[in-house]
Amino acid sequence: MNDGALYIRATGTWLPPAERVADAVADGRCEAAVARSTRMESVTVSAGEPAPEMAARAARTALERAAAEPGDIDLVLHASFYYQGFDLWAPASYVQRAAVGNQCPAMEIRQVSNGGMAALDLAWAYLAADPARVAALLTTGDRFCPPGFDRWRSDPGTVYGDGGTALVVSRHSGFARVRSIATVSAPDLEGMHRGDDPFGPAPFSHRDVVDLDAHKRDFLARHGVAPTVARVAAAQEAVVKQALADAGLGLADIDRFVLPHLGHRRLHVAYFAKFGIDPARSTWSWSRTIGHLGAGDPFAGLDHLATAGELGPGDTCLLFGVGAGFSWSCAVVEILDAPSWRDR
């Protein structure tokens, strides 16, 4: 066991069937312009499975692959950002009861789309703080459904998918090692996801459906596009530079890029063009069939690469997360062994 090391023992996802973007355009659910700019092919849509249940199903897969017993798990962190099914409730405890069945601390992470990476960052520190702590279960789960969310229109540069994801991390061993993780925060940008709306006394006090584009227009009208874009770009560059430096690697050393499930235009601006990332070496060809899973994209993307047999010993992956706030996280993951559960 290496002091301070963190390993990934297993990944897991639970995704409902996908709906085709072309069908959504044909029946008016999705604007043709959004289909063109995002280049999304399909998104996973829950027929009714609740977000915490999808997370629990992903967790069961990851725990089984990790051969982890309930007593092995010393922390459960559940990240989400949309409605979890009840107005005042503890989704992390639901995941713990439904998937683990132990009594370790179970807490919720609400860091919008960066919640999965925030959980990874915090779990590493929590496990390192006590030699008796060995492993953690990290989950995400969201269901972006009506009436309050329009997966096709609530955030025009991104089309949202439903699903649960999970990671089992350990200080002792795993198929992959987390070489570094960095997180950068830009609270001066938090207004971009509230705009000019006043604080409300209850959910949906000012609008019936989430409209992130309205908040963004309000914010950019006050703060300007160019300075905001520059601020976002600078923070994105800083977090990648920090993660790579802490891992002693350069961008050229990275074999695979696990990117947020944003639409193509956003990915091109923030990742492909900015860092010279080849889309073919990213998860884009898969994520365009899934949609933005909220906090779960990094876990789902790593699970996809592992399950598809695209990861071998010595490979390095760069996991990216970005969330309203804003916050950015970036982790360097080194593959030590081919995952035992890969499809081929």
Ligand X SMILES: CCC(=O)NCCNC(=O)CCNC(=O)[C@H](O)C(C)(C)COP(=O)(O)O
Residues forming contacts to ligand X in the complex (CB under 6 A) are 112-113, 157, 192-193, 212, 216, 228-229, 232, 262, 266, 322-324
Q: Which residue has the tokens 């891992």?
A: 247
CB of 82 or CB of 124, closer to ligand X: 82
Taking CB positions, which residue lies at the least distance from ligand X? 113
d(CA 139, CA 39): 28
| CB 291 to ligand X: min, Å | 12
CB of 114 or CB of 170, closer to ligand X: 114
| CB 157 to ligand X: min, Å | 4
CB of 121 or CB of 334, closer to ligand X: 121
CB of 135 or CB of 159, closer to ligand X: 159
CA–CA distance from 32 to each of 24, 25, 40, 149, 155 (Å)?
9, 6, 11, 19, 15
| CB 41 to ligand X: min, Å | 19
Rg (CA), the chain: 19
For residues 49 and 103, the answer to whether their CB atoms sit within 8 Å is: no
CB of 97 or CB of 274, closer to ligand X: 274
Q: Closest Cα to residue 261, out of 73, 40, 69, 93?
A: 40
| CB 112 to ligand X: min, Å | 4
Q: Is 201 helix (H, G, I), strand (E, B) or coil?
A: coil
Q: Closest Cα to residue 181, out of 268, 98, 254, 240?
A: 240
Strand order of the sheet with strand 7-14? 106-109, 73-79, 135-142, 163-170, 7-14, 176-185, 327-335, 316-323, 256-258
Q: What tokens does 114 get?
A: 């960066």
CB of 66 or CB of 212, closer to ligand X: 212
Q: What is the rounded (10 degree) CA torsion for 54, 56, 57, 60? A: 160
CB of 8 or CB of 119, closer to ligand X: 119
Mention every residue, 6+ apart, whose C-beta is less than 8 A from residue 239: 182, 183, 184, 328, 329, 330
| CB 154 to ligand X: min, Å | 9
Verify cis geometry, omega within 30 degrees of 0, for the bond prior to 326: yes
| CB 73 to ligand X: min, Å | 27
Helix (H) or strand (E) holding 87: none
Q: Which amino acid is at 72?
A: D
| CB 193 to ligand X: min, Å | 6
| CB 298 to ligand X: min, Å | 12
CB of 94 or CB of 328, closer to ligand X: 328
d(CA 195, CA 221): 10
CB of 190 or CB of 246, closer to ligand X: 190
Q: Is 313 helix (H, G, I), strand (E, B) or coil?
A: coil
| CB 14 to ligand X: min, Å | 21
